[in-house]
Chains A and B, each alone.
Chain A
Amino acid sequence: MRATLSVRRFLVLTSALLIAGCNRGPDATARPTVALVVKTLNNQFFVDMEAGAKAAADSLGLELIVQAPEREIDVERQMQIIENLIQRKVRVLMLVPNGSKEIVPAVVKANVARIPVVVVDSRVDDGTLKAAGGTVATFIGSDNEDGGRMAGAYLIERLGRTARVAILEGVPGHETADARLRGFRKALAGSPAMQIVASQPANMERDQAFNVTQNILQAHPDITALFACNDVMALGALEAIAAAGKGTAISVVGFDAQDDARKAITERRMAATIAQNPREMGRLAVLTAHRLIHGESVPAEQPVAISLIR
């Protein structure tokens, strides 16, 4: 009996805490609610995006809900979150999809519920979307392909047109990573002395990048450059390179301009990274949502400038 009582008390306390720690139901303030669903909040990039979005929402008088699955690879969970938010009757859905093609059914559901969809940073596959009869209001993001191209051009310039290059790919089939790779490869295509000797996926994760880089170094100890599709992987690669004692011999370029990457660049351990400005993406997304709520039209493409940090 005593056991059940204390268990009950524990449950009541927990439920109270949960209910206290969240937004209550219908807005007492009657502010329009918009939602931002990112790939995962366990990545600095999206935490920055959330910060930019929050700031914009506060200044525009919008209620912002930010949700994400635990893992960048979990599309099913993202779909469930979107379904739930549709029930929540949010006014606009801002989305960074975990699967370019897989997320289309969820977009269609939002369309049916007459919730405009703003796609951020990672594109929804156009062909699949059209085939399913879905639409998105706009795409806000950097041209990832252009960013890859910039990274390639930088390496060519830095290494004097000759190098043995290794590439760390992202999650296969992810549009973002694919675009960056495309751009990078195109940039290198014009310089035959820039040889790509290895290209392996590391799923955008740091410890996988460490292992893969170690293996690449075993097979190709004489590489002089490494391009990683995001900073998380680049940082893992840096550690593997340091462990192999090749710190100065290899120029590493990442993507995303995370704080740790910037630090590594100032410390001269890393060569460069491409900054996408996720904060700006978040701000623009909320701004666009605001305009959509007020019936204004928005352009189909809203590019956000990228820059090379070296």
Chain B
Amino acid sequence: MISSSTLRRIVRGRESGTTFGLLVLCVGLWIATPYFATAANLSNVAEQSAVIGVIAIGMTFVILTGGIDLSVGSLVALVSVVIGSALQRGVPVFAAVAIGLLAGVVSGALNGLMITRGPLPPFIATLGMMSVARGAALLLSDGRPISGFPDGLRALATGEVFGVPAPVVMMLTLYLLAYLVLTRTVFGRYMYAIGGNEEATVLAGVNVRRWKTVVYAISGLSAGVCAVLLVARLNSAQPIAGIGYELDAIAAVVIGGTSLLGGSGSVIGTLIGALIMSVLRNGLNLLGVSSYLQQVAIGVVIIAAVLIDMALRRRVQRSSR
């Protein structure tokens, strides 16, 4: 399904810088501590990257169109609480999850409407939603976490498919889907076109308004899926969940090589970006590095990743002139 030309592109293309970075990091950790390169630890790392990894899918779409979504962290809390409240009232797991995801989609679509009809700048619209959703989550749950859920939901976090943790399977499946959508469908092309030059895309007869709204709905959906994962993992729906997740998601997207200006980047890059962040955190824990230094390290990696990406991009541009 992944053609040789795609592989060639990955090796020689923009993602190569980030992949190289990930490899360097892994090799470095492998040397520095024997606890890193074990099957169990790597499985943990993959599972830990699922939380931000899933949100980062939606964020990639949004950033590709030249926008941004600051509300995803709060949406995680809101959807968690919606699911928790539903389960508390005896709604079956399947339905509760569906209602939660719907809440995410609707909130995202609201973001999209504010941005296309306002028109409000995405930063402002999603900043407002960040506050509103957080408040809604606190209101709905009366500020208290909701816990004690049926096993069916927990299985989403603890289950395994052929030895691979369920969250990882979910994440990889969603990434594959996103990759196919972005590279093969009309919608995917529109994403890149809108981000590359919105005016020209309007002139080409594309209903940019509609598709931008859809993109933010997708971001809301990603946040919803993350919420499902979180509730399953913690066995609790917390209205204070997700604080700061939007920044981690943006970091994953940026490290992965997607330009904040829109129009270029790939979802594969985002996956690698999310992995880099998880590997880094995991490694620093294993090495017992002071928590204060950890915060510095993560910032440094983000800056370094963007610098490398910019340098690579300049090289690619120069060689194709």
- A residues lining the B interface (CB < 8 Å): 1, 3-4, 7, 10-11, 14-15, 18-19, 21-26, 41, 65-71, 73-76, 79-81, 83-85, 87-89, 99, 101-102, 104-105, 128, 171-173, 201, 203
Contacts and interface: CB of A to CB of B under 8 A. Distances in A.
Contact of B311 (A7, A67, A83, A101): A7
B288 A75 contact: no
B311 A23 contact: no
A102 B145 contact: yes
Main secondary structure, interface of B, reads: helix
Interface in B224-283: 230, 233-236, 238, 240-241, 243-244, 281-282
Contact of B243 (A1, A23, A73, A99): A73
A87 B41 contact: yes
Contacts of A171: 240
B145 A173 contact: yes
B28 interface: yes
A4 B312 contact: yes
A101 B154 CA distance: 14
Contacts of B311: 3-4, 7
A67 B291 contact: yes
Contacts of B5: none
25 contacts: A3-B310, A7-B307, A14-B304, A18-B289, A22-B289, A22-B290, A23-B288, A25-B33, A41-B291, A67-B291, A69-B291, A70-B291, A73-B238, A73-B243, A75-B238, A79-B233, A83-B48, A84-B41, A84-B282, A99-B234, A102-B145, A105-B158, A128-B235, A172-B145, A173-B145
Contact of A101 (B32, B236, B282): B236
Contacts of A73: 238, 240, 243
Interface size class of B (residues with CB under 8 A): 35 or more
A14 B51 contact: no
Nearest to B232: A105
Nearest to A82: B285
Contact of A7 (B40, B281, B297, B308): B308
A64 to B, nearest CB: 9
A88 B315 CA distance: 41
Contacts of B314: 3
A42 B107 CA distance: 33
B285 A84 contact: yes
Given A22-B287, A25-B34, A87-B38, A102 B240 contact: no
Contact of B51 (A76, A89, A99, A201): A76
Interface in B19-56: 24, 28, 32-35, 38, 40-41, 44, 48, 51
